[in-house]
């Protein structure tokens, strides 16, 4: 019995490229497909979680929304890895700056993801699992950023289930050298580890919660082009 289509993705297996870029916002996925890809085909509309496949520099690339939070990206990334034979997922999302040296619109690449989530409980491990990215994707992303003359910060992010965290909580993660806070990376990295796939999270700072600075929704949707270019160049170089 076929697992396709899944409850959340209506595409055929061949509709997805081996590498998928995943913004949280499905409208950002549409913006990327409209402005960066050619020969675009819409491959998913279920629950308005838009997915597209097209060409970038002659290579087949897919882009699809992940939704908000680890529960949502956990579902979509699992189905793409498990049932659609996707090999690489590059998250391209937003994050809140924690470290003093990280500011609005800065790009952070998550080498690892600390978390307060119970997502890893499903694996019944006897200790604490440390979710990390794929080194090959990380290496290519850093190279792409340098080629594009984009400064990036590389290190730990904090993946949380709570959007409105108390500042005292964020300050504690800051004291451990964490660069930014977001809501998806840890689950993506765990799915990739479990299924022997590759994942990377590249995020642009949309707010600085400790400084009370924020970008508008429109700026978040359309103002992350440098991050997108790094992700696309990474996708075609692997």
The residues, any chain, with a CB within 8 Å of residue 115's CB and separated by 6 or more, are: 70, 131, 158, 159, 160, 186
Determine contact, residues 61/236, Cβ cutoff 8 Å: yes
Cα–Cα distance for residue pair 162/94, rounded to 1 Å? 15
Quickly list DSSP for 126-155: SS----B--HHHHHHHHHHHHHTT--EEEE
Which DSSP helix (H) or strand (E) runs through 12? none
Helix (H, G, I), strand (E, B), or coil: what is residue 3?
A: coil
* 207 flagged as catalytic: yes
Q: What is the CA radius of gyration of the chain?
A: 17
Choose the catalytic residue: 15, 134, 207, 233: 207
Determine contact, residues 133/180, Cβ cutoff 8 Å: no
Cite the active site residues: 207
């Amino acid at each position: 019995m076929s697992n396709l289509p899944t409850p959340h993705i209506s595409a055929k297996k061949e509709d997805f490229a081996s590498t998928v870029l995943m913004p949280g916002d499905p409208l950002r996925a549409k913006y990327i497909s409209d402005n960066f890809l050619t020969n675009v085909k819409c491959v998913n509309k279920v629950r308005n979680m838009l997915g597209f496949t097209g060409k970038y520099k002659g290579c087949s690339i897919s882009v699809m929304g992940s939704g908000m939070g680890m529960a949502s990206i956990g579902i979509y990334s699992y189905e793409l890895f498990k049932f659609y034979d996707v090999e690489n997922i590059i998250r391209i999302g937003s994050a809140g700056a924690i470290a003093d040296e990280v500011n609005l619109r800065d790009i952070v690449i998550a080498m690892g993801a600390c978390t307060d989530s119970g997502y890893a409980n499903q694996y019944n491990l006897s200790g604490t699992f440390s979710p990390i990215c794929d080194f090959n994707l990380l290496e290519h992303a850093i190279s792409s950023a340098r080629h594009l003359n984009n400064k990036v910060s590389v290190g730990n992010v904090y993946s949380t289930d709570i959007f409105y965290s108390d500042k005292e909580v964020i300050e504690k993660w800051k004291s451990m050298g964490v660069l930014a806070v977001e809501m998806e990376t840890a689950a993506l990295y765990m799915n990739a580890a479990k299924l022997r796939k590759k994942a990377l999270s590249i995020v642009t700072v949309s707010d600085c919660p400790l400084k009370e600075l924020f970008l508008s929704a429109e700026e978040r949707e359309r103002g992350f082009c440098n991050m997108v270019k790094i992700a696309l160049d990474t996708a075609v170089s692997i």
